[in-house]
Amino acid sequence: MRFWPAPARTVASARPETPRDLSHQIDEGFIVALSAVRLSVKNGVIMRTVRDGAPWNEAEAIDLARRAIEALIAELDETATRLSHDSDAAAPTERASRTARSKRELARIRQGRDEVARLNARSRTLRGVAERLRGAHDDEAVVRDLALRARDDTLSELMQARLIPRAERVPLSDEEHREAIAGVKADLQTLLDERTGY
């Protein structure tokens, strides 16, 4: 007869651990970041062209690219800092790790450690991407290339828009318009939740 519980065995992880190649993740993140910057510049150029009727100006497009890079760096740094704080909060305490005995407690400790590792990996990746963006920000050739590619994207999009036959506008009441916007916002939030895990 046993008067104390037997120590619970550690249950193997349900999913196999995959090696995390930080440099590869940073490379992919940097490619995505540059695409986001180019899209931001393209939108800025379209707004200036269509709304303001302004002609193409390479210097202004380069300035748009620099500002977009700066904004993205700030956002990545802020998110990386938040993830570091989240990682600290998710970390199991040393006391909880020492005293865990049941399978449930051990599973909770293991999940906490997995979450800490995941958050730390994301934070390191975001910091690495931000560092690469700082290098891009200071590289004249990269910034000019972003501006020129955004110009080409803008021209392509404007030409396609002119070639698409326009349908009759469907009149919407104010309530229908609000419902449509709310639906778009809900869809965007769902996509954001799926993408970020929050």
Ranges assigned E (strand) in 10-74: none
The residue among 166 and 123 whose pLDDT is bigger is: 123
The pLDDT assigned to 90 comes to: 66
The answer to whether residue 197 scores a pLDDT higher than 80 is: no
Q: Could you report the per-residue pLDDT of 64-119, keeping only the tens digit for each? A: 999 999 999 999 999 999 888 877 776 666 665 556 566 676 666 677 677 777 88
Which of the two residues, 145 and 52, has the higher pLDDT score?
Answer: 145
**Over residues 129-146, mean pLDDT:** 94
8 A C-beta contact, residue 125 and residue 30: no
Instruction: Please tell me the least confidently modeled range out of 6-15, 151-160, 170-179.
Output: 6-15
Domain ranges across the chain: 22-165
| Torsion of Cα atoms, 24 then 30 then 33 then 34, to 10° | -130
Tokens of 1: 């007869």
Residue 146: is its pLDDT beyond 60?
yes
Q: Is the pLDDT of residue 20 over 80?
A: no
Cα–Cα distance measured from residue 43 to residue 148, given in angstroms and rounded to the nearest whole number:
13
Q: Has this prediction a pTM greater than 0.85? A: no
User: For tokens 């910057």, what's the residue?
Assistant: 37
Handedness of CA 43, 46, 50, 52 (dihedral sign): positive
Mean pLDDT of 141-146: 93
